[in-house]
A = this chain, B = another copy of it.
Amino acid sequence: MEKTSKITIKDIALQTGLSCGTVDRVLHNRPGVSKKSYAKVMKVIKALGYEPNIYASLLAQRTVRVIVILLPALKKGEFWELAESGINRGREFALKLGIDVQKVVYDEYDIASFREACEKVLAMKPAGVVLPPMFKNETLLFVDKLRQNNIPHVYVDTKLESNDYLAYYGMPIYQSGYLCASILTDNKPAKEVAIVRIQRDKHGQSDPTMNRREGFIDYISEHFPECRIHNVFINPTQPENIDNILEEFFSANPQVDLIAMFNSRIHLVASFLEKHRDRNYHVVGFDNLDANKAALRSGLVSALIAQRTGDQFYSAISAITDFLIFGRTPANRDNFMPMDILTRFNVEYY
């Protein structure tokens, strides 16, 4: 409980024979300072090891800034809902530091709605933006505008190589597929594997599952070159057909006992699995959606690989507030979150 005794602007003003106002101008690179004064102030700042007091600064400024989270609409039970907790935690944290956090959402299947959302964000003149880059080209255009306005942005989930982002928080996608394969095969001879995939037309959307699939296939061909990999396509918009498709495929291929899925919808195969518990399928999926966890608990799914989606957003928000308030860029630009392996036995504590 000791008093602090730090160097202040006043000290610098006295030492340089200038006034607080001028020192402040120098500190913030504001115009209207002679070269002479500028140099003098800088010298004394260095000499005295002056550190500005952010509290005093923030108090005097009394402006409220906003960080925008630009992401697909959060639908109940679907992937992006996992972001919510992290966003809320981030908002709570940021609010205490005088920064607001607001969501702007769009339809992840509708590029026009994305463009609209981008406009909306720019109009808000945010102090920073957090976003998963869903539409690659559109996103590049958008972040370029952000750059022009000196608005930092942080990627979550996936990243683009735009080279002007403040930070990235996500899972190592390729490796996650590799890990998935290792868990699925359990390092024991694998003969035939089915990858269940989603049928959807993509309009230039970045597809994280592609990299993941690569990692998966690489593991399999490295470890079980003779293993055959099947692809089964289902359509989530026609749930009533899923079981039929699966029935058909698996009765035609009774040797297949390993199943993997690279998006967050492994729960879609749960009802099929339920009907064929006797076949002892070994199943691995991704992401801790409630429906997926239920399938895990009931033993239909062996393992889930989760990626702390909430934490990604929370970290992203923290990174921006840190940058805005303390002027600190994150220690690492690319931050790979852990891949969490969930089984029946640790899922309750996740």
Contact = CB atoms under 8 A, between A and B. Distances in A.
Interface of A: 1-4, 53-56, 58-59, 62-65, 96-98, 125, 127, 171-172, 175, 178-179, 182-183, 186, 326, 336-341, 343-346, 348-350
> Copy number of this protein in the oligomer?
2
A62 to B, nearest CB: 5
A179 B256 CA distance: 28
Contact of A53 (B59, B326, B344, B350): B59
Contacts of A179: 343, 345-346
B336 A182 contact: no
Given A63-B2, A186-B186, A340 B340 contact: yes
A239 to B, nearest CB: 30
Nearest to A59: B55
Contacts of A53: 59
A116 to B, nearest CB: 23
Contacts of A178: 345
B338 A341 contact: no
Contact of A182 (B63, B127, B182, B343): B343
Contact of A338 (B56, B125, B340): B340
A1 B65 contact: yes
A80 to B, nearest CB: 21
Contacts of A186: 186
Given A54-B96, A346-B175, A349-B336, A1 B341 contact: no
Contacts of A55: 54-56, 58-59, 98
